């Protein structure tokens, strides 16, 4: 039997949306769900401010921070972290969270997403529709370049769902995570890392983390399908930072 200890990647209504909010629950609802599942800790990690529809509004960051300080007093039985899932982009520090904004968060994750500017979004989107398959190498190289730069130039806690949404050179990404001590995510909502990707990463000295990536409170603490992939790939559970054998 296994048990998740910390869920470092969950979304709330601070990830807004064009009509209804992208994250469905409040931070308090996510925390309550985490308490009821017996987790030791939970992070609120809404989408970075550069996402055109789902990104947290910069002016809301201090409001969320105040709410997290309040929740820590109400729920002392659980660790509550303020994080953000930054978007990987081209140029600058390769994120939509600027270096001077890192201090606003307990830690910063980053992942590749559509819905941002300057991230080869159109070509990757079309590629995923089955067109431009002949361009795989070129696309994978430039996608990997911005992901590796984001990992190397920032102190990230987690690289979220590597391999999702865009072709990449996974060996180079694993090497960058090894060098920087960045945890590689096995995401329970997205299928990445998938089993083949996990096998590519296994020889590198990297740690893995399972995240629910919950967009509604009832998904907080979900880890089961991600754990199945890890076991299927033959990865020792001691390399997964937030799973305990019980």
Q: Write out the residues near Zn ion by the rule CB under 5 A.
A: 85, 111, 160, 213
Question: Judged by CB, which is closer to Zn ion: 17, or 237?
Answer: 17
CA–CA separation, 20 and 141 (whole Å):
36
In 3D space, the residue among 75, 113, 81, 73 whose CA is nearest the CA of residue 95 turns out to be 113
**Whole-number minimum distance, CB 6 to Zn ion, in Å?**
15
Question: Judged by CB, which is closer to Zn ion: 67, or 85?
Answer: 85
In 3D space, the residue among 43, 63, 52, 44 whose CA is nearest the CA of residue 16 turns out to be 52
CA–CA separation, 10 and 33 (whole Å):
11
Name the residue number minimizing CB distance to Zn ion. 111
Question: Judged by CB, which is closer to Zn ion: 118, or 132?
Answer: 118
Element (H, E) at 108: strand 107-111
Question: Judged by CB, which is closer to Zn ion: 51, or 131?
Answer: 51
Question: Judged by CB, which is closer to Zn ion: 101, or 213?
Answer: 213
Beta bridge partners of 244: 3
In 3D space, the residue among 98, 9, 113 whose CA is nearest the CA of residue 55 turns out to be 113
CA–CA separation, 34 and 108 (whole Å):
20
**Whole-number minimum distance, CB 31 to Zn ion, in Å?**
17
**Whole-number minimum distance, CB 246 to Zn ion, in Å?**
27
**Whole-number minimum distance, CB 9 to Zn ion, in Å?**
6
**Whole-number minimum distance, CB 24 to Zn ion, in Å?**
13
**Whole-number minimum distance, CB 204 to Zn ion, in Å?**
22
CA–CA separation, 33 and 217 (whole Å):
6
* Cα atoms found within 13 Å of the Cα of residue 220, Cβ hemisphere only: 33
**Whole-number minimum distance, CB 113 to Zn ion, in Å?**
6
Beta bridge partners of 39: none
Question: Judged by CB, which is closer to Zn ion: 231, or 241?
Answer: 241
Element (H, E) at 87: strand 79-87
Three-class SS state of 169: coil
Question: Judged by CB, which is closer to Zn ion: 85, or 96?
Answer: 85
CA–CA separation, 217 and 209 (whole Å):
20
């Amino acid at each position: 039997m296994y048990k998740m200890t910390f869920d470092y990647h969950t979304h709330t209504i601070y990830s807004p949306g064009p009509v209804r909010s992208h994250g469905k629950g409040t931070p308090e609802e996510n925390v309550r769900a985490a308490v009821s599942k017996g987790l030791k800790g939970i992070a609120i990690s809404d989408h970075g401010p550069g996402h055109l529809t789902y990104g947290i509004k910069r002016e809301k960051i201090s409001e969320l921070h105040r709410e997290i300080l309040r929740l820590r007093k109400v729920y002392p039985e659980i660790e509550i972290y303020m994080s953000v899932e930054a978007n990987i982009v081209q140029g600058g520090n390769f994120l939509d969270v600027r270096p001077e904004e890192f201090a606003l968060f307990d830690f910063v994750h980053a992942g590749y997403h559509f819905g941002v500017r300057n991230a080869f979004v159109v070509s990757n989107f079309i590629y995923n529709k089955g067109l431009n398959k002949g361009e795989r190498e070129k696309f994978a190289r430039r996608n990997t370049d911005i992901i590796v730069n984001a990992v190397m130039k920032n102190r990230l806690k987690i690289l979220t769902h590597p391999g999702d949404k865009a072709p990449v050179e996974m060996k180079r990404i694993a090497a960058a995570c090894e060098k920087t001590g960045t945890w590689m995510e096995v995401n329970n909502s997205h299928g990445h890392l998938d089993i083949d990707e996990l096998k590519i990463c296994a020889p590198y000295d990297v740690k893995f983390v399972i995240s629910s990536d919950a967009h509604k409170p009832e998904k907080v603490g979900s880890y089961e399908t991600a754990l199945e992939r890890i076991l299927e790939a033959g990865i020792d559970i001691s390399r997964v930072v937030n799973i305990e054998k019980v």
